[in-house]
């Protein structure tokens, strides 16, 4: 029996995880559900899974949840203190932590899970992008099991022997596929006018607002490139990005003998989540079988780094090292939030990212404190640029 903490239980990954968990009550139970403020959905989840603990960041939401749970005599203990969150994650009864908060705030709880040697199912790519080397060092030291949930990285994980790149496997390159997002065929002029509502309307995937905007700017693929670099230990110049609008081939691994192994599946996150939960076994996930005959054709295109500048920025940041990646990620989080609040236009996201990346000095990040410090300075600079743009 795996005992789970789900960081980001009310989000797109969190709810998909609970959907899979509910199909296998003999294999998985919930120890703690974690969210920011969505007490209404947490209440429903408590009714279904009755976890011993729930953690919420927002105090007013926590108060409402306590009252609602008491009214139906549910005993889940509602926690709000940050130290309590870290204690719950490292509790010896917990086997598995699903890291699915959005943004770099996922870093510390995910690291806590890693440091306590848990099996960590990683959706929160921002934590790995921000602290790559330190994060992977912590995995090595604690012998935690790290399994990616991002569909592309799960695909690569499944196409590699034992999910690992080692000197003797004859790896040529990793190929990340990208849907191209909702603006794949738009000119730069057309992109200038797009709204937040259009940007969050992804053609294939149903996801939270931040990653949906990242998909529209293709920063998501850039972050995934950095994530793949750290997860699999492959340099950026051996990670290609190919646009594949149908999102059926989730990524590929090319070997020196001319073989290319691909992972195919419907675009439904319950597939990589099930892989992560049950690996190396397989469990049913509720995802439909793929019908290739009905699909008929699959298409592949070159990724256009001139229209989607974030792709180029992410590749450059990956090559420039840890602090560049942390700076880019932080600037991007602030810029995306400003775009969602209609404070800046769509193309300004890449403008802000580029300016912050070009302006901030790069440095060695030898501790998590240093990562947090750089992240905070980059956020400050991005916010300042956004303020100037708004005037």
Ligand X SMILES: NC(=O)c1ccc[n+]([C@@H]2O[C@H](COP(=O)([O-])OP(=O)(O)OC[C@H]3O[C@@H](n4cnc5c(N)ncnc54)[C@H](OP(=O)(O)O)[C@@H]3O)[C@@H](O)[C@H]2O)c1
SS3 content of the chain, % helix, strand, coil (to 5): 50, 15, 30
Smallest gap, in angstroms, from Cβ of residue 209 to ligand X?
Answer: 6
Q: Which is nearer to ligand X, 171 or 214 (CB)?
A: 214
Q: Which is nearer to ligand X, 204 or 343 (CB)?
A: 204
Smallest gap, in angstroms, from Cβ of residue 211 to ligand X?
Answer: 4
Q: Which is nearer to ligand X, 100 or 313 (CB)?
A: 100
Spell 168-192 as b/e; 16+ CB within 10 A means b.
Answer: eeebebbbbbbbbbbbbebeeeebe
Where do the DSSP E strands lie in the chain?
2-7, 28-35, 53-56, 77-79, 96-99, 119-122, 145-148, 171-178, 239-243, 249-255, 260-264, 301-302
Which residues neighbour 349 within 8 Å (Cβ) at sequence distance 6 or greater?
213, 217, 219, 310, 332, 335, 336, 339
Smallest gap, in angstroms, from Cβ of residue 298 to ligand X?
Answer: 20
97/113 Cα distance (integer angstroms):
7
With vertex at residue 218, the alpha carbon angle to CA 252 and CA 220, rounded to the nearest 5 degrees, is 70
Binding site for ligand X (CB under 6 A): 8-14, 34-38, 57, 100-102, 105, 123-126, 150, 205, 207-208, 210-211, 269
Secondary structure of residue 123 in the 3-state scheme: coil
The counts of H helices and E strands in the chain are 17, 12
Which residue's Cβ has the minimum distance to ligand X? 11
Smallest gap, in angstroms, from Cβ of residue 94 to ligand X?
Answer: 17
Q: Which is nearer to ligand X, 29 or 126 (CB)?
A: 126
85/105 Cα distance (integer angstroms):
13
CA distances for 182 relative to 137, 216, 275, angstroms: 37, 6, 27
Phi (first) and psi of residue 172, to 5 degrees: -100, -60
Smallest gap, in angstroms, from Cβ of residue 134 to ligand X?
Answer: 18
Q: Which is nearer to ligand X, 125 or 379 (CB)?
A: 125
270/287 Cα distance (integer angstroms):
7
Smallest gap, in angstroms, from Cβ of residue 359 to ligand X?
Answer: 25
Q: Which is nearer to ligand X, 273 or 352 (CB)?
A: 273
Smallest gap, in angstroms, from Cβ of residue 351 to ligand X?
Answer: 22
124/137 Cα distance (integer angstroms):
17
Smallest gap, in angstroms, from Cβ of residue 126 to ligand X?
Answer: 5
Q: Which is nearer to ligand X, 219 or 243 (CB)?
A: 219
Q: Which is nearer to ligand X, 38 or 348 (CB)?
A: 38
């Amino acid at each position: 029996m795996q005992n789970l903490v789900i960081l980001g239980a009310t989000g797109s990954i969190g709810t998909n995880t609970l959907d899979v968990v509910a199909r296998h009550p003999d294999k998985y139970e919930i120890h703690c559900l974690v969210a920011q403020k969505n007490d209404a959905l947490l209440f429903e989840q408590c009714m279904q899974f009755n976890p011993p603990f729930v953690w919420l960041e927002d105090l007013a939401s926590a108060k409402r949840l306590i009252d609602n749970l008491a009214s139906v005599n549910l005993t889940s203990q509602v926690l709000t203190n940050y130290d309590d969150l870290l204690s719950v994650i490292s509790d010896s009864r917990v086997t598995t932590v699903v890291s699915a908060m959005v943004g770099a705030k996922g870093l510390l709880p995910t690291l806590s899970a890693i440091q306590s040697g848990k099996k960590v199912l990683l959706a929160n790519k921002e934590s790995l992008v921000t602290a790559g080397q330190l994060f992977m060092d912590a995995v090595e030291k604690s012998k935690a099991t790290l399994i990616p949930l991002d569909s592309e990285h799960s695909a690569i994980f499944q196409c590699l022997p034992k999910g690992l790149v080692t000197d003797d496997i004859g790896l040529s390159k990793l190929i990340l596929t990208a849907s191209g997002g909702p603006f794949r065929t738009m000119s730069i002029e057309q992109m200038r006018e797009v709204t937040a509502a259009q940007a969050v309307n992804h053609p294939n995937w149903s996801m939270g607002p931040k990653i949906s905007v990242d998909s529209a700017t293709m920063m998501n693929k850039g972050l995934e490139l950095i994530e793949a670099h750290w997860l699999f230990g492959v340099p950026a110049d051996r990670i290609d990005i190919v646009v594949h609008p149908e999102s059926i081939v989730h990524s590929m691994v090319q070997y020196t003998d001319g073989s290319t192994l691909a992972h195919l599946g419907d675009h439904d996150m319950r597939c990589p989540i099930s892989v992560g939960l049950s690996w190396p076994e397989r469990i049913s996930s509720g995802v439909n079988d793929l019908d290739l005959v009905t699909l008929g054709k699959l298409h592949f295109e070159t990724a256009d780094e001139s229209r989607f500048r974030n792709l180029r920025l992410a590749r450059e940041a990956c090559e420039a090292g840890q602090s560049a990646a942390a700076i880019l990620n932080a600037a991007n989080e602030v810029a995306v939030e400003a775009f969602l609040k209609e404070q800046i236009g769509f193309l300004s996201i890449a403008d802000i990212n580029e300016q912050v990346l070009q302006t901030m000095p790069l440095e060695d990040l030898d501790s998590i404190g240093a990562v947090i410090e750089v992240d905070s300075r980059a956020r400050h600079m991005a916010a300042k640029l956004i303020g100037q743009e708004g005037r």
